[in-house]
Amino acid sequence: MTFRRAISVTALILGLFGIYLLSYGTYVLWDYRIVGIREAFDRDSHGMSLVVGYTFILLLGTIAFGLGVVAWFSRQITEPKAQDALTLGLFVLCLCGFLVSLYLQINYWQTNWGRFYVAIFVTLALILGYKRFFRNSTSEEH
């Protein structure tokens, strides 16, 4: 697998995941069966409101989409050290995303959407880990 192909697949998946999260943000509020938007701003004993979850999902979607855009524009990099650094950075990010989503899926979510998140991050971690650690990047076409 070439660097360009691995980064293109990563960019596509992260971009689509970011768009999904950006469009999913309003469902975070609906999951709590909120009658009116005013109730979403009511703070609990810790000073948090349900809008925190909504804004977090929007922020996470923006970050995922932004990483997808960065990966897309980085697919033309030909410098082997830059390729390795970018691949390693995205691998660590996706591995952390996999571990966190797996933990949350096992302990809290236990839903099909949770399985979807785990599958996204494990797929990206496998693609990037394979490219970074198991393929000799100096012997293949960049």
Structure tokens at 36: 């009116």
What is the per-residue pLDDT for 44? Answer: 66
What is the per-residue pLDDT for 30? Answer: 59
pLDDT at 53 over 90: no
117 vs 47, residue with greater confidence = 117
Q: How does the average pLDDT of the chain come out, rounded?
A: 85
DSSP string, 53-119: HHHHHHHHHHHHHHHHHHHHHHTT---HHHHHHHHHHHHHHHHHHHHHHHHHIIIII-SHHHHHHHH
Q: Dump pLDDT digits (tens) for 124-136.
A: 999 999 999 987 5
pLDDT at 74 over 60: yes
Residue of 113, 103, 140 lying closest to 27 (CA atoms): 113
44 vs 117, residue with greater confidence = 117
What is the per-residue pLDDT for 142? Answer: 47
141 vs 112, residue with greater confidence = 112
pLDDT at 29 over 70: no
Mean pLDDT of 97-107: 93
